[in-house]
Structure 1
Amino acid sequence: MFQGKVNKMLYGGDYNPEQWPREIWDEDMRLFELAGIDIVSINVFSWAYNQPDEQTYRFDRLDEMMDLLQKNNIWVSLGTSTAAHPAWMAKKYPDVLAVDMDGKKRKFGRRHNSCPNSPTFRKYSVLMARKLAERYKDHPALLMWHVNNEYGLRCYCERCEQQFRLWLKEKYGTLDALNSAWYTAFWGHTFYEWDEIVAPNNLSEHYKLYGVDVTNFSSISLDYARFMSDSVLECYTLERDAIKEVAPDSVVTTNFQSNGTYKPLDYFKWAKEMDVVALDSYPTSDMAMSYTAMRYDLMRGLKQGQPFLLMESTPSALNWKPQNPLKRPGITKLWSYQAVARGADSVMYFQLRRSFGAFEKFHGAMIDHVGHEHTRVFRECAELGHELQHLDDRIVGARVEAKVAILFDWENWWAIEYSSGPTIDLKYLNIVQKYYDALYGQHVQVDFVSVDDDFNRYDIVIAPVLYMVKQGLANKLEQYTAQGGTFVTTFFSGIVNETDLVTLNGYPGELKKLLGIWVEEIDSLMPNQTNSITMTQQLGKLSGTYTSDLLCDLIHSEGAEVIAEYGSEFYKGMAAVTRNKFGQGEAWYVGTNTEDAFIQQLLEHLCEKKEIKAILASVPEQVEVSKRYKGNQSFLFILNHRDEEVTVPLNNIKYTNLLTNETIEQQVLVDGKTVCILEYHEERTD
């Protein structure tokens, strides 16, 4: 990735020297050395200083900092400083200000405050990126570029509305095609001129219903979500291209937010434009560890298994939650290694020195307000820094091998939750998480894939709530299954096409042939209402009766074998779960939201049939295992999330504990809230 410049896992984080007097900088260099810091992100929010007016650019402070970091052997992830436009720009060029969902134009303030289609923002952000590239392209401290910061904004201004119309013209070509795709005969919405189309916001198609944001025309809102993701992405690519025109070999990225499942931006599409995926991850003690693990696996999947960068995390407390408890001793290291175990090639913090004013003054940092190294947090950060130095480059670049994939699709997510039925309680991420958790709990590694990826690398492909079936996907799934793959999908799948129009002639639409079923109706259960499903046969541990809730598809078999039937309601005895043999493979349909035990036992049964084994057997509860490999060397991570020590049985292999250099066989003792990293030789043929 970095052309031989880096020989270890990167360790560092966000550094904001512009917030501090010059005499602090030298002290920070001393503290960075003590902690093993070797990379910092700088210049992320410095646009106002770098460009105090339209004509003036000044980089004196940045020059000094770049040289100081180089002198202290610290790499730089150089921000383009465009994450918040200057006040003078908002005053002189109001087109730079975004308009919110209610149609209100924002004033200067906060961040993420720029309209992505503003000519002013695009002009000056690209100029800034180019000037920085021209100035620092050959600087010995420069390792990579960090464009903007945590992109994420939907704007509804007149400029965006105009650009939306142009985007639609390019996509549909004619108004007849658009009217057909959007089903505008409904409620008299037929458009006869392009400028009749307006942005779908709270002044047009959106409103609150029972406290939930809904839209009258999901097709319009879905296209606007696509358009906005594309618009913001274009802001990134414009700055990226300005850098690469000057320095073609530059490594350029930006940092994804919300632990990786940020709804407004299609990260699969974004990842194609990035040299490396970078993530900001802020797990909290009230989150299940599988929640964070799933998002790391998703980040790794965005570029077909390539390692990603953990660009931000916190070594201590957050500041934006209602309550912000301290990270308990050992947690910073444990959670950092969880990212590494699942594909990260860096550990980086926000922030390295704690701000002493404004919104983030109580956000955790390696260097606290006291300003010295004699704190628990600093000692823990330094301990991790020294361990990463000890690991050198052994794990860097290592991959994760999985035989099970989960199909994840941002546009499907948008479409499901824009739907005005059958229930507001259906949340895409919740169902995906349930199926992921079943595999996580069995210590089976999982890749996340997009509709464009190669499914044939996997023995099992799971597509929870595949509501939207994009063009060509049904044929792709049929070919995968016919060649011996196992395909699993769920209730509320195969319903619509890419413009959110229902596929007629019965659910699950284009998937009917593959699944061998017809869904006649979909019953939406009230909160706290349940049904049950009863197995028609025993399959491994699958037997007896299980509860279900949320949605129940009323299924007729058209060749599929009925595996489970409903236990109550007027559809008692109808099929609830089916299996259809298709070519050399089989396709499963789980027609209701079952209890966790059913999903766990189903996936265990399918993995056994495909001879997919857990990384380790007999792993204690609340202990997480993951594995990366490089060549014929494998790296086994054992993360103990419990408070007390545990004994973990190992496979009959000789291991080296990379953190202690001990040779280990048979079993390993792992202290509470700690990690063990074991290296061993494993012959590979790929």
Structure 2
Amino acid sequence: MADFFPISVWYGGSKARAPMLAQPTEESYKIARRDIENIKKLGFNSIRYWVDWTTVEPKPGIWNLDFIDRLMDLAEENGLKVIIQLYLDSAPNWIASLYPDSRFQAQSGDVIDSQASPGFCCDHPDVRKEAELFMQKVAERVKDHPNFYGWDVWSEPHVVSWTWLDWLPRAVGWVCYCPHSQERFRRWLEKCYGDISNLNRAWYRAYRDWNEVIPPKYVTLSTWRDLVDWQLFSIEKLAEDLKWRVQTVKKIDPGHVVSSHSAISSVFIPPLNWYGSPDDWEMAKQVDVWGTSLYPKHIGESMPLDSAWRGVALDATRSSSDTQGKDYWLGELQGGDGVEGIRFGEPVTPQDVQMWAWSAIARGTKGLNFYAWYPMSCGYETSGFGLINLDGSITERARAAGKVARIVNQNMDLFLNAKPPQAEVGIVYNIYSYIMLACSRERADEIVNIVSSALTGIYRALLKENIPVDFIHINDFAKGDLKNYKLIFMPFSIMMTSEIAEGVKKFVRQGGKLVAEVRPGWSDEKGQCSEMIPGLGLHEVFGCREKWIRERQKPKLCVESVQELMPSLAEKMEISGSVYEEALEPLNDTAKILAHFEDGSPAMIINSYGKGKAMLIGSLVSGAYELDRGEENGKFIKGFYKWAGVKPLVEIAGSDKSEGRILEGLRCTLLFGFNHDNKKSSISFRLRVPEGKYRILDLSSQTEVNWSYDNGLRIERELEPQEVCVLKIEQV
């Protein structure tokens, strides 16, 4: 893994769309040979074959594996390494005949028959054994091929995948409630609570034994501890199931890298959404390499994803892997136009392909897997997402992807060893907030808007200043190792454990600066409301308590006294909030009011605590910035990094739609310059490096680049619309 940077395309040996495979013929192998030769000629160094259970075991114990050898050999003949993508979701239907109680079940009681997907519930012990046998048979077949590189054992993990259960009511989407999943939940509860009497007290029930326990299926007035537990169980179940897949493959093949990748970063998606979604930080623990899919021009209201949304997805995935000391890959990177049914996304251009690829590499990815070689030949996404055309003709998009691959191939050691610099700013991802919002009967889209808008708003403001950012899992506070951060943003952290709250206190007490928004610590993880808000003792950190709170979609905050903290800001300014007005009341002499709502109620308070400082804002200023892009909100959020003494590693002049990122190599620095504008731009990059003599090489053109030194290394570049430059900087 440490000596190879895979840049692959998804390919199934024919025009069949994943996860399906066509019945191979001699003619299809001729076409496959042509395709694989073209993949190699374009510059890719690897290929990602998918292997589905239905094709491999069409009847119990009848194994169809010869096609894998043929495809592996074709790749080897062309000098391509191979990654195998396993699909358990595409399971053979004889499973249902042998094990009819293995079908997934929704909370409504509806049984979900598999129609090419979603397969069957592996909580059923016999289905699990059958699935293990499938994975191990494939592993036995491929592990000794000299060009075999590694595995992806789960594409876009969910409890139920690749299915739209449109006949179910909108509120029904929690899974799985089959007898075996319910029993697994009971065993999980028994491990957590020990005795049924403890569960009864927590859930306000009167069960006599564990066999009477029923998983929650709706929200009730009295308590939501049961639904908190169901969501925590779902998160742990997905992580355990990924671990099981990894261990199953490694039992046969311990020597190759094993990966998995999410459909979208978990910072964007609550655990109950999309029929059960994972926590990236938990999933990254289970594999050698975690990753994500990235489809910036898919279908949906948020599309196309701009540089900030893409950056959040990439940096959050990187952060989840970094905490485990692991690399991350893009398991899927969009290769062609987005299609869903009869809806179509914006056309994908060659410039898009290069922009997306270099954005990921600039954020430290060590693997790119383009989806897919051919457009989808059938199904819900028919005609979409292909790098080439369905008739086999090569597109400029494919050539653009190949150009990125060639540059990486020519400089592989350089890109493998180059790492993002240590960020000094963190943004908290609080999965408990998502859990509490689901318990509060908030609609899925409203949950995402509240939380992800806040995270993305902060990220967007800092991106404009080229400030590196990590995403910090809220549980990392409990571990107490956050000393690398000078500044942490903690938006809308309404639920947390007492251990997390103690970690928050420790961070500030030891000299950190913390900025929080709206009701931190309102509830603990048991669903118990704190006696005072901020809760769990955080009123000591913020030096205030909540006086009252009300809904207001666009409240105004009049900021009067921040100039001494942030000299770059005006003495008085008006900024926008969103969703809430929370009036605050100072509790001590060190707490200072910085802003008021229009009715005069205190809206923002800063407090000294130990060696550090903490600020609480009574509205989602970050979310308002993401939704409205107000200039004053942007200035306000940017002011925090200066307050914390953080300096940008790259300063840019000449364009407000440009970006500069660096990777630190063994004896060099890589500068990635992005022109996000739709017009040609003259951009000046200045790096904070020591004065001296430098050699700068453009890795695309292989030409040397002129530079000057003026309080930093200054590089002037003319970049075409949506162009990226990649520069290797060495001090000589």
User: TM-score, length-normalised on structure 2?
Assistant: 0.85
- Equivalents in 1 of 2:731, 2:514: separation in Å? 29
On the 8 A contact 1:296/1:339 being kept in 2, the answer is yes
On the 8 A contact 2:2/2:416 being kept in 1, the answer is no
- Equivalents in 2 of 1:490, 1:191: separation in Å? 40
On the 8 A contact 2:293/2:332 being kept in 1, the answer is yes
Aligned to 2:727: 678
- Equivalents in 2 of 1:32, 1:549: separation in Å? 49
Aligned to 2:251: 245
What is the letter of the counterpart of residue 249 of structure 1? Answer: G
Task: Choose the corresponding residue for 1:10, options 6, 23, 27.
Answer: 6
The 1:58–1:289 alpha-carbon spacing in structure 2 relative to 1, beyond 3 Å, is same
Task: Choose the corresponding residue for 2:706, options 664, 672, 677.
Answer: 664
- Equivalents in 1 of 2:398, 2:580: separation in Å? 49
Equivalent positions of 1:336-485 (< 5 A) are 336-373=357-394, 375-401=395-421, 402-420=423-441, 427-450=450-473, 451-452=475-476, 454-485=481-512
Aligned to 1:515: 542
Aligned to 2:597: 567
Task: Choose the corresponding residue for 1:233, options 228, 235, 239.
Answer: 239
The 1:389–1:216 alpha-carbon spacing in structure 2 relative to 1, beyond 3 Å, is farther
On the 8 A contact 1:12/1:39 being kept in 2, the answer is yes
On the 8 A contact 1:562/1:575 being kept in 2, the answer is no
The SS at the match of 1:178 is: helix
The SS at the match of 1:565 is: strand
What is the letter of the counterpart of residue 363 of structure 1? Answer: G
The 1:356–1:603 alpha-carbon spacing in structure 2 relative to 1, beyond 3 Å, is closer
Aligned to 2:310: 292
Aligned to 1:38: 45
Q: Describe the superposition over 1:417-464 as per-residue Cα deviations: whole angstroms up to 9, x where unpaired.
A: 422589967621121111222211221010112223621111111111
Identity over aligned pairs, percent:
20
Q: Describe the superposition over 1:389-421 as per-residue Cα deviations: whole angstroms up to 9, x where unpaired.
A: 333331124221211011213233222342258
| Runs of 4+, deviation exceeding 4 Å | 214-217, 420-426
Equivalent positions of 1:617-656 (< 5 A) are 617-619=651-653, 620-651=655-686, 654=694, 655-656=696-697
On the 8 A contact 1:215/1:418 being kept in 2, the answer is no
- Equivalents in 2 of 1:457, 1:147: separation in Å? 34
Post-superposition offset of 1:262: 4.1
The 1:551–1:417 alpha-carbon spacing in structure 2 relative to 1, beyond 3 Å, is farther
What is the letter of the counterpart of residue 673 of structure 2? Answer: I
Unaligned runs of 5+ in 1: 207-213
What is the letter of the counterpart of residue 436 of structure 2? Answer: A
Task: Choose the corresponding residue for 1:96, options 102, 114, 133.
Answer: 102
What is the letter of the counterpart of residue 452 of structure 2? Answer: L
Equivalent positions of 1:148-167 (< 5 A) are 148-153=154-159, 154-167=175-188
Q: Describe the superposition over 1:542-563 as per-residue Cα deviations: whole angstroms up to 9, x where unpaired.
A: 5322232311112111124334
- Equivalents in 1 of 2:146, 2:128: separation in Å? 29
The answer as to 2:209 corresponding to 1:193 is yes
Deviates more, 1:665-674 or 1:424-433: 424-433
Aligned to 1:535: 560
On the 8 A contact 1:403/1:446 being kept in 2, the answer is yes
The 1:631–1:216 alpha-carbon spacing in structure 2 relative to 1, beyond 3 Å, is farther
What is the letter of the counterpart of residue 108 of structure 2? Answer: D
- Equivalents in 2 of 1:329, 1:71: separation in Å? 28
Q: CA RMSD in A?
A: 2.5
Post-superposition offset of 1:168: 0.6
Q: Describe the superposition over 1:607-651 as per-residue Cα deviations: whole angstroms up to 9, x where unpaired.
A: 223331123224422212222112342211111111111122122
Aligned to 1:258: 264
The answer as to 2:329 corresponding to 1:333 is no
Post-superposition offset of 1:169: 0.8
- Equivalents in 2 of 1:317, 1:340: separation in Å? 22
Post-superposition offset of 1:566: 2.4
Equivalent positions of 1:545-560 (< 5 A) are 545-559=574-588, 560=590
The SS at the match of 2:87 is: coil
The 1:216–1:77 alpha-carbon spacing in structure 2 relative to 1, beyond 3 Å, is farther
The SS at the match of 1:638 is: strand
Deviates more, 1:341-350 or 1:253-262: 253-262
- Equivalents in 2 of 1:362, 1:495: separation in Å? 48
Aligned to 2:609: 582
The 1:160–1:581 alpha-carbon spacing in structure 2 relative to 1, beyond 3 Å, is same
The 1:274–1:447 alpha-carbon spacing in structure 2 relative to 1, beyond 3 Å, is same
The SS at the match of 1:220 is: helix
Post-superposition offset of 1:537: 4.7
Post-superposition offset of 1:344: 1.3
Deviates more, 1:189-198 or 1:661-670: 189-198
What is the letter of the counterpart of residue 666 of structure 2? Answer: G
The answer as to 2:663 corresponding to 1:616 is no
Aligned to 2:286: 273
The answer as to 2:341 corresponding to 1:311 is no
The SS at the match of 1:80 is: strand
Q: Describe the superposition over 1:131-166 as per-residue Cα deviations: whole angstroms up to 9, x where unpaired.
A: 222332222111111103221123122221121111
What is the letter of the counterpart of residue 377 of structure 1? Answer: R
- Equivalents in 2 of 1:578, 1:252: separation in Å? 48
On the 8 A contact 1:317/1:363 being kept in 2, the answer is yes
The 1:474–1:657 alpha-carbon spacing in structure 2 relative to 1, beyond 3 Å, is same
The SS at the match of 1:340 is: helix
The 1:42–1:537 alpha-carbon spacing in structure 2 relative to 1, beyond 3 Å, is closer
Q: Describe the superposition over 1:58-109 as per-residue Cα deviations: whole angstroms up to 9, x where unpaired.
A: 3111111112212221111113332321122123322332112422101121
The SS at the match of 1:647 is: strand
On the 8 A contact 2:532/2:546 being kept in 1, the answer is no
On the 8 A contact 2:99/2:127 being kept in 1, the answer is no
The 1:179–1:624 alpha-carbon spacing in structure 2 relative to 1, beyond 3 Å, is farther
Aligned to 2:634: 600
The 1:98–1:504 alpha-carbon spacing in structure 2 relative to 1, beyond 3 Å, is same
Aligned to 2:710: none
The SS at the match of 2:186 is: helix
The 1:567–1:603 alpha-carbon spacing in structure 2 relative to 1, beyond 3 Å, is closer
Post-superposition offset of 1:27: 0.7
Aligned length: 657
- Equivalents in 2 of 1:381, 1:432: separation in Å? 30
On the 8 A contact 2:304/2:346 being kept in 1, the answer is no
Deviates more, 1:328-337 or 1:294-303: 328-337
Equivalent positions of 1:64-103 (< 5 A) are 64-103=70-109
The SS at the match of 2:235 is: helix
The SS at the match of 2:600 is: coil
- Equivalents in 2 of 1:664, 1:370: separation in Å? 45
On the 8 A contact 2:576/2:633 being kept in 1, the answer is no
- Equivalents in 2 of 1:30, 1:250: separation in Å? 25
User: TM-score, length-normalised on structure 1?
Assistant: 0.90
On the 8 A contact 1:117/1:231 being kept in 2, the answer is no
The SS at the match of 2:94 is: helix
The 1:225–1:215 alpha-carbon spacing in structure 2 relative to 1, beyond 3 Å, is farther
On the 8 A contact 2:294/2:330 being kept in 1, the answer is yes
The 1:433–1:179 alpha-carbon spacing in structure 2 relative to 1, beyond 3 Å, is farther
Aligned to 1:591: 618
The 1:585–1:555 alpha-carbon spacing in structure 2 relative to 1, beyond 3 Å, is same
Aligned to 2:190: 169
On the 8 A contact 2:522/2:530 being kept in 1, the answer is yes
On the 8 A contact 1:343/1:399 being kept in 2, the answer is yes
Aligned to 2:320: 302
On the 8 A contact 1:564/1:577 being kept in 2, the answer is yes
Post-superposition offset of 1:292: 1.1
- Equivalents in 2 of 1:509, 1:482: separation in Å? 16
Post-superposition offset of 1:283: 0.8
The 1:293–1:393 alpha-carbon spacing in structure 2 relative to 1, beyond 3 Å, is same
The SS at the match of 1:553 is: strand
